[in-house]
Structure formats: C-alpha cells, structure tokens
Amino acid sequence: MSKFKQTIIITNDHTMVSFQDRGLNYGDGFFTTARINDASIEHWPLHKARLIECAARLAFPTLDVMAIENASLQAIGDIQSGILKIVITRGSGGRGYGLPEAPSIQVLITVLPAVAHYKTWQEQGVSLAISSIKLAHQPVLAGLKTLNRLEQVLIKNQMNTLNCDDVVVLDINDNVIESSAANLFAIKNEQIFSPQLNNCGITGVYLKSLCAKLAIEFKQISVEELLAMDAVFMCNSLMGVVPVAAITDTQFDITRSKALLATQFAKENV
C-alpha cells in the first residue's frame, strides 16, 4: 500500500456517499461516538486511540488523526452538549473484497443532539431482558467498533417485542458479553467484574476510562453469575454509568448499587 488519500467530510442533510464506497458495500470501516461537553470532546485521547487501533487491526493506512480532531472541533463549534460521530471507511476501489492499492479513506464527521433520557436512566436505573440473539465469535474483530452491526440491528429489533429498556447480550457459549449498545460491569463482594471480550463484543471507551480509575477484573460471566451480583451497571460514552434495576425477574436496589460503586471510587482514590 504505497499511497493513500484521506478526505474529511463534515456531514449535513445533503451529504452523499458513493454507491461504490466499501463501507456501504462491505461494512469496510469503523466508527466512534463521543459526548460533546462544553464544546469539547469527552475522552478524546481514548477515542483517538480507538481510531488508531481499528485502522491498524483492519489494515487501514495510518490516519491523520490530528486533521480528524481539528475537523471535529470545527464541526462542534460552540455547541455545549451533543454527540460527535466519526465514521471512517476505506472509500471506493479494489476488486470485490480485495483491498485497493491506493485507498481513498473517507472520514464522515456528524454532530447530533444529545440523548435526553440518559439522565433519567442514571437516576432511576434500567430494566433489562435477555436477548435470544447471540453474538458470534470472531477474535480478529473482537473489541473493535466496526461498521458491521447487523447483530446489534437485529437485537434492537427484537427489543421492540420485549418490555425492557435494554437487553443482556450473550455469546454462542452463553457467556454474558454486553448490552445492545453498552458495556456491562458488576460488583460482587467488593470486587468489580466485567465480561471478557476476547471473542466478540466492543471494548467501550467509557469502560476503558473506568479501568484507569477502578480495579476491574475481566472474566467469563454466566447469566446465573450476573443475576447473583450485588450490583450491575451499563456504561458507554454517551450514557456514562447507568445502574441496572432489574434483569428479567431479578431486582437490584439501585440506591445500594450507587453506594457500592461510590465506595469503590473512594477506595481507589485514597
């Protein structure tokens, strides 16, 4: 791969993408979604690291992340609260699945309104069902936020038939992995656990930020083990930390859950 071109587009209602774009045809790309707070990008170093890791593992050329950051800040302007979405595709070219010799990387930057109900979720907790749609194993892609999200699309569609705020998603071996669009972590006997993501699932930026503040052990977790936890939480870059009030028929006291998490933060910051 001798040379490549990187094109950055700040999107609007009239933005058009080529029908030949590999992101559209093959899901050949990746993305990150960040919270805008006070006209800045929360956890930008971790989002930048995600883009760099995705590019490397998916055999993209080295990105000009400084240009992406500058364009993102330009798109944000003086917006105080919202969502920044950065989508990166390999552009057009190549024969079939074969990679183009000189890819034309497309960077699509979009600013969206903030999600209003996340504050209510943080305060009141959420109710989860368990999805019957399970994640396949693909260690080569595990952890990455690729454009291939058909599993999540089907999971979200199934949620429309369930009386819940979100779902617990399992892998093909019935290990707990994540929710439909967030990571999970839990507390048991003053220890924090989160599902292993070696074979599938997305390594979230917010979860990574928590790893810098809390001692989190990543392990295989069964549904039975999850239901026996003292507290369970969802987290992602947009919602922050949300306590789980119920998983199917198992109830969690979210006042106690919040207190247990506060104790963990206090313990790690002594």
Residue positions annotated with a catalytic role: 33, 145, 178
Backbone φ, ψ for residue 63 (5° rounding): -80, 155
To the nearest 10 degrees (0 to 180), the angle between helices 44-57 and 65-76 is: 140
Tokens coding 212: 């810098």
Cα-based torsion angle of the residue sequence 42, 46, 52, 57 in order, rounded to the nearest 10 degrees: -130
Q: What is the per-residue burial (b if ≥16 Cβ within 10 Å, else e) of 215-238?
A: ebeeeebebeebbebebbbbbbbb
| Helices and strands, counts by H and E, the chain | 8, 14
